[in-house]
Amino acid sequence: MNSKMDWAYSEKLKEHFMNPHNILEDEDSYHEDGKGIVGNMKCGDQMMVVIKVDKAKGVITDCKWKTYGCASAIASTSILSEMVKGMTLEEAYYISPKDIAKELGGLPGHKIHCSVLGDKALRAAINDYYQRNGMLDKIKKQEARVVCQCMNVTDKEIEDAVLEGARTYIEIQERTKAGTVCGQCKEDILRLLDKYKKKHFAEAKQKNLSN
Ligand code: FES
C-alpha cells in the first residue's frame, strides 16, 4: 500500500489549510459591523464570516470566519479573508469563487463548490452591515432563485456549474451539492441543466459558425 498522500492541491492551498488565517476565536469579544452565516448543518458545511468596516470610507478593515467545512472551504475562506481587507464593500461583494480559486493557485474542479460557502457568507455579512446601518438601498437583492432548499443552491449556481463543465445530474451534485439530501429538487435541476446546456452550447455553436 502506498502510504504517501497524493496531494492534488497547490502549495498555497495547503499552506492556508495547515495555517488558516483570521479564524474567529472568540465570537463574544469580536464586535463585528456585519455578520453572515450560510450553509446547512445537515452535511456539516456551515460558514460564518464577520467583518469590520471603516464607515467613512466604506472599506473592509478586518475579516474573520469560522466553519465546519472541508479542507477546501477552510483554505478558500482563509485566503478570502486576506483578499478582502482594504477592499471597498462594493469590490468585496463581487469576489467570485473563481477569483478565490485563482488566488489559491487552482482548486480541483469538484472542490470549487466549497469556495462558494465563504463568498456567500461574505455577501451576507456585507448585506448585514448595510442593514444595521440603515443603508437599505445598498442591499443587493438575491436575484437568483433557490432551487435546492436543502443545500441552498440557486439556479445561478447551477448555471455556473454548467459553465464550469458539469453536464450531468451527478456532476451538478458533485459541484454544487444540490440534490444530495432529499432529492425533491431533481426534476427542477434536470430542467435547468437542459436549459443551460442549450443556452451556452447553442451560443458557442453560433460563435463557431460566425468565425
Ligand atoms: S431540495 Fe434539493 S436535496 Fe432537498
Catalytic residue of the set 43, 148, 150, 185: 43
Q: Is the CB of 181 under 6 A from ligand 1?
A: yes
pLDDT of residue 202: 66
What is the pairing mode between strands 45-54 and 34-40? antiparallel
Contact partners, residue 90, CB within 8 Å, separation at least 6: 58
For a ligand 1 pocket test, name from 145, 154, 173, 181 the mutation site with the most ligand atoms within 8 angstroms of its C-beta.
181
* 211 residues of the chain, pLDDT tens digit each: 444 444 567 788 888 888 999 999 988 999 999 999 887 655 557 889 999 999 999 999 999 999 877 777 888 899 999 999 999 999 999 887 778 878 888 766 555 555 667 888 899 999 999 999 999 888 876 567 889 888 878 898 898 888 878 999 999 999 888 998 889 999 999 999 999 888 877 654 454 444 4
Catalytic residue of the set 63, 114, 148, 185: 114
Active site residue 114: yes
pLDDT of residue 113: 57
pLDDT of residue 114: 59
Ligand 1, residue 148: give the atom nearest the CA: 2
pLDDT of residue 115: 63
pLDDT of residue 5: 47
Cα dist from 93 to 54, 83, 144, 176, whole Å: 16, 12, 15, 20
Residue 80 to residue 200: CA distance in whole angstroms: 29
Q: Is the CB of 148 under 6 A from ligand 1?
A: yes
